[in-house]
Structure 1
Amino acid sequence: MNDKIKKIHDETIVVDAHYDLLMDLTLQKNFNKFNVIKNDHLNNFKKGGLSLIVSSIFIDKPIYKEAYLHETLDQIALFMEEIEKNEEITFCRSYEDILNSKKQNKIGIMLSFEGADPLFDDLHLLKIFYELGVRFIGLTWSRRNYISDGCKFGPVEKDKRSYGITDFGVNFIKKAENLGYIIDISHLSETGFYDFIKINQKPFIVSHTNIRHFTNNTRTLSDEQIKIIKENDGIIGINSYKEFFNEKSKNISAYVDQIEYIINKIGDKNVGIGLDICTHLLKYEPFNEEKISPNIIKDHSEFTKITEEMLKRNYNESTIKNVLGENFINFYKNNL
C-alpha cells in the first residue's frame, strides 16, 4: 500500500457492505476449528485497509423452521465468542460504535440477515434479533420466502413471472423499519422491487449488486432502478462476483467501470462497495480442485486495488472516500 492510498484509507471508514463471514465460523466449527476471524480473516482486513465489515447471516440450503433458527443462533453465538476473545475486533450496533471502532484502530463488524428465511412467518422474532445486535435485514436471497420471491440467477427474461411482496411481507417491512432495521433489497425479485418502493417509509440499501448495462442478469439493476434508489436516498454496493460481469472483462478495471457508471448516472453520493467475496468458502467444495476465486477481488487484502484504479482514473480524494465508505457511513449515521 503506497503512502497516498494509505492516507486515503487512514482518513476514511472503509466499508465492505457484504461478506459471508459468519457462515465460515459455523462451517469451520464442524472441523473443530475456532478463532476463525483472527486466524483466517483479520490480516486480510488489515492489509486491505478495511475499517468495517457487514457480515451476512446466511443459511445456504432451505431447512425446517427450528433448524433455521438453530443455525442462525449458532452463527451469532460463535461470532460473539470470537469478539470476546479478540481485542482487535468490535461488534458494532450503532453509528457511535462504528466511530469508536475506527478511533481505536479496530475492525468493526456488523450483522445482517441475507434473506429473512430464518424468521419464517414470525414477526415477533424481529425484536429478538434486533436485541441480539442484527441491524440489517435482506428481505430475500435468490429464492422464495414468506416475504417475496427472490430473483433467479440468469437472464432477466426468466424473472418476468416472479412474484412480488406478500401481505405478510408488507407487515414485515413496516415492523422492521419501525424497530430500526436497515432494509437491504439485494436478491429481491424485480416485481418485489417495484412493490417495495410503494411500501417503504425509510431509505434502503442494495448492499451487493451490479449494473444491467454490462450484464443481462436478474441480480443487476436497470437504469430506472438506479434512479429510483437515488430518489429514495439509498446506497448501491458494487459486487465483485465474476458472474455479473461481461465474459471478456472480469478484472479490477471492469469492477471500477461499474462504479463509474453509477457516478456518471446519479453522482458519487449513492454508491459504495459490497464485494460478496466467496473465495474463503472454496475449501468446502471438494470437487472444485482448481479453487479458482469466483470474485474479481479474491480476498480483502486486495481491497486497495479499487483505490489504486480510481486514482489512475484521476478521481479526486473526496469521490474516492465516498465510494470506499463515506456514503455508507453517512447512510448509517442517518438511519441506524
Structure 2
Amino acid sequence: MQNSGWPSVFDGHNDMLLRLAEHDSDDAIRRFFEGRGAGHLDWPRMHQGRFGGGLFAVFIPPTDDRSSIVRQPDGYDKSLSPAMDVAEATSRTMTMVSRLYRLEAASEGRFRVCRSVADIRQAQADSAVAAVLHFEGAEAIDTDLEALDVFHAAGLRSLGLVWSRPNAFGRGVPFRFPSGPDIGDGLTEAGFALVRACNRRHIAIDLSHLNEKGFWDVARTSDAPLIASHSNAHAICPHARNLTDDQLRAIARSGGIVGLNFATYFLRPDGGLSAETSVDVMLDHLDHMIAIMGVDHVGLGSDFDGVYAMPIPIRDVASLPALQQAMHDRGYDAATIAAICRDNWLSVLEVTWGE
C-alpha cells in the first residue's frame, strides 16, 4: 500500500523558468496555476507530488549550437557549446528572473521567492512552493562582479559557475559517454574571484557541469559546503557529467550535498537515453552515494523540464511519491527518506547562507 504521509520534497534543480520564458508571460503563468502547462511542473502537479520547493534555475541554452552528437562504438560525444556573449546572456537572464517574480505576484501566496531557509520553512508550513533563484552558468555576470551584487539583491542565492560550455570563469564538461570529468583547464583568475565573492555574500556555489580541475579549484578555495545540485555517481554511469568517488568524498568532507539527477543518460550504466528504464537505477545511485558520502550528504536534483527521459514511473513532479515508495521498498526508513527528499538540502543551505 502506498504511504500517504510522504515528506514534502525540496529539489535541487529544475528548468521551469526557461520553459515559461519561451511563451507569452501572462498566458504561461495562467497555465501554470491552472495545470494546463506543458513540461514536468505546474502548481496542481506540484501540490499532488508534495513538491515543497527547490532551486529554480536560470538556464540559457545556446542560440548558435554548432556542436553535434557523434556516435561512437561504445557511446557518444556532444562537444562543448560555444561561449555566450555577456550582453545576450544578461538580456535572457532578466526575462527568466522576471517570470519568477511574476509567478510570485500572481500566486496569491501559493508560490514564494525565498532568500533564507527560514523563508523556505515558512512557505512550506503555509503549503506554498518555496522558490530559490539559481543561475545555471554565470554568463550574465561580468568579471568585475558588479552584476553579482545586483542579482544577489534580486534574490540570487545559488550559482553554478558554468554550464557545459566555457565562460570567463571556467570550463564545463561536454556531454560525453563514456568519459571521466577531467576535461580541460580549471578556473580562471576571474573564476577564483567569483568563488571568493560568493563566499562573502553567502551564495551557494554549484559544481554540476564544472570539469574536474575546476571542481578541485573550488574545493581548495571555497569556505562553504561543496554542492552539486544535479549530478550522479560516475562509478555507476561513467558519464563526464557525473562525479567520481573522490569528488563525492570531498563533498561529504565539506558538509555539502549531491542532488540525484533523474535523466536516464546520467543514470544508466550504458548511458542510454531510453525511458524504458527502471526506477531501481535511481536507487542504485542513491545507495552508492550513501555508501561513499553518508546519508546526510545526498538529496534530489531532478532536472525537471531539462530532462529528455526519466525512468519509469517518473513522468513529472506528480510522480515524486512513486520514487519515495521505491525508496521505502528498497528498505529506506522514514528518517532516511525525509533526509534525502528535503532535510539535507535545508541543512546545507542553512550553513551556506550563514543562518
By the TM > 0.5 criterion, same fold? yes
**TM (normalized to structure 1)?**
0.89
- The one of 287, 304, 329 equivalent to 1:277 is 304
**Cα distance change, pair 154–31 in 1 and its aligned pair in 2 (3 A):** farther
CA distance in 1, matches of 2:347, 2:323: 20
**TM (normalized to structure 2)?**
0.85
Identity among equivalent positions (%) equals: 24
Structure 1 counterpart SS, 2:235: coil
User: Is residue 2:290 matched to residue 1:263?
Assistant: yes
Out of 180-189 and 114-123, give the one that drifted further. 114-123
Cα deviation, 1:212-238, whole Å, max 9, x if unaligned, reads 111111101111111111011110101
CA distance in 2, matches of 1:127, 1:31: 29
- The equivalent residue for 1:43 is 44
**Mapping for residues 230-309 of structure 1, pairs under 5 Å:** 230-244=252-266, 245-247=268-270, 250-278=277-305, 293-296=308-311, 297-309=314-326
CA distance in 1, matches of 2:299, 2:59: 21
Amino acid at match of 2:206: D
Structure 2 counterpart SS, 1:183: strand
- The equivalent residue for 1:21 is 16
**Cα distance change, pair 309–102 in 1 and its aligned pair in 2 (3 A):** same
Cα deviation for residue 193 of structure 1 reads 0.9
- The one of 237, 240, 247 equivalent to 1:218 is 240
CA distance in 1, matches of 2:344, 2:23: 33
Cα deviation for residue 316 of structure 1 reads 1.1
**Cα distance change, pair 317–160 in 1 and its aligned pair in 2 (3 A):** closer
**Cα distance change, pair 200–30 in 1 and its aligned pair in 2 (3 A):** same
Superposition CA RMSD, Å: 2.0
- The equivalent residue for 1:133 is 155
Amino acid at match of 1:218: A
Cα deviation for residue 67 of structure 1 reads 2.1
CA distance in 2, matches of 1:84, 1:129: 19
Cα deviation for residue 305 of structure 1 reads 1.5
CA distance in 1, matches of 2:217, 2:93: 28
- The one of 316, 329, 335 equivalent to 2:346 is 329
Cα deviation for residue 122 of structure 1 reads 3.5
- The equivalent residue for 1:81 is 102
- The one of 212, 215, 223 equivalent to 1:201 is 223
Structure 2 counterpart SS, 1:16: strand
Structure 1 counterpart SS, 2:295: coil
**Cα distance change, pair 36–175 in 1 and its aligned pair in 2 (3 A):** farther
Cα deviation, 1:36-92, whole Å, max 9, x if unaligned, reads 432431111111111112110011115432221111111111221121111211111
Cα deviation for residue 204 of structure 1 reads 2.4
Structure 1 counterpart SS, 2:6: helix
- The equivalent residue for 1:55 is 56
Residues 207, 215 of structure 2: 8 Å contact kept: yes
Cα deviation for residue 278 of structure 1 reads 2.9
Cα deviation, 1:295-322, whole Å, max 9, x if unaligned, reads 2233101111111011111211111111
Cα deviation for residue 18 of structure 1 reads 0.2
Residues 278, 294 of structure 1: 8 Å contact kept: no
- The one of 133, 145, 149 equivalent to 1:111 is 133
Amino acid at match of 2:20: L
Structure 1 counterpart SS, 2:54: strand
Cα deviation for residue 17 of structure 1 reads 0.8
* Unaligned 5+ runs, structure 2: 63-82
- The one of 114, 120, 127 equivalent to 1:98 is 120
Structure 2 counterpart SS, 1:84: helix
Cα deviation, 1:204-259, whole Å, max 9, x if unaligned, reads 21000011111111101111111111011110101011111224883211111111
What number of residue pairs does the alignment pair up? 319
Residues 231, 258 of structure 2: 8 Å contact kept: yes
